[in-house]
Amino acid sequence: DRFNATSYNAVTLVISTLQTIAGMWINAFIVCVLCIGWLKRKSFNSNEKILLHLGCSRFWDIFISCLYSSFSITYPWCFYVHPIPELFAAIQNFSNTSNVWVSASLCVFYCIKIANFRHTFFIYLKVKIDKIVPWLLLGSGLLSLVMAILAYNITGNAVLKKRNSTTTGSLWKLNVRMDEHFFAVLFLSGFMITTAFLAVVFSALLLLFSLWRHKRNMQTNSVKDLSMDAHIKAIKSILSFLFLYTINFTGLILSLIYATRNDNLVIFLILLFHYALPVFHSLILIFSNPKLEKALRRTLSCVKCKVC
């Protein structure tokens, strides 16, 4: 059993480290390219603002998750020393909530910007979307901050109660379970994740319907194949995003369910999806953005020349 546990910890650490390096590099690349573009133009468009926030939130979300996994394997006792568990709970909830809601904001932005509906309210949103984006990002930040404060307070209260019931020192028994104290955080996190997921699904379906209708009209009117290919590419990109977000949503819900259990296999699969999916979706964002794709190809060609 000790050998199996050691092997599991080693495999988990290696895979999470490799995925973390890839995820952090890709999202750091997105942030760097956008910042360099800002230094040249001194401005961001709405799409770049969302991508910048998404890259930053994913970078820190992956980094904090990897740090948490590494410490839980190598130094598990540190999570019983004040204020380490409170800080980890707060930072994880902030980065995770920010990641989820900025991703949802990106999908809503694409829906409003690209979809073509004649409803008055939708036309109003399309006209005002550039002014709405900063408020969406501000709302995501405030919501993430609220979740972080709640997680810190609830975790602190749970830790304090358990410490008083066991020992007066700063270190207490490792087998103490605090499942019941985290119900409020888990419930709120689940509610936030589900709300963001529904926003993504609704926006993606509206956008797919609009693009499919436009594609059908182009086929009827015998429009050039180049425009047809662009719309087909957009539909594939949206379907890929919806598929990845659905799997990510499932993984996040499972992580909430199994947060207080010791099922190593399920936790391993959850970590695998948690680290892998932001990598793939960030790659989709890069290859669907001509500016980012061009910068990536130029970077890879420079690396290849130096290696050769």
Give the contacts of 105 (CB within 8 A, at least 6 positions apart). Answer: 50, 133, 136, 137, 140
Q: Residues 193-226: pLDDT tens digits?
A: 788 888 888 888 888 888 778 777 766 665 555 5
Q: Residues 217-260: pLDDT tens digits?
A: 766 665 555 555 666 666 677 777 777 777 777 776 776 666 55
Is 60 exceeded by the pLDDT of residue 52? yes
Single-letter amino acid, residue 217: N
CATH numbers and ranges of domains, the chain: 1-307 (1.20.1070.10)
Can you spell out the DSSP letters for 62-76? HHHHHHHHHHHHH-G
Single-letter amino acid, residue 52: L
Q: Percent of the chain scored above 90 by pLDDT?
A: 3
Is 70 exceeded by the pLDDT of residue 269? no
In the prediction, which pLDDT does 258 show? 64
Higher pLDDT, 249 or 165: 249
Mean pLDDT of the region 104-109:
86
Q: pTM of the entire structure?
A: 0.80
Is 70 exceeded by the pLDDT of residue 2? no
What burial class does residue 170 get, using C-beta atoms within 10 Å of its C-beta: 0-12 exposed, 13-18 middle, 19+ buried?
exposed
Is 50 exceeded by the pLDDT of residue 109? yes
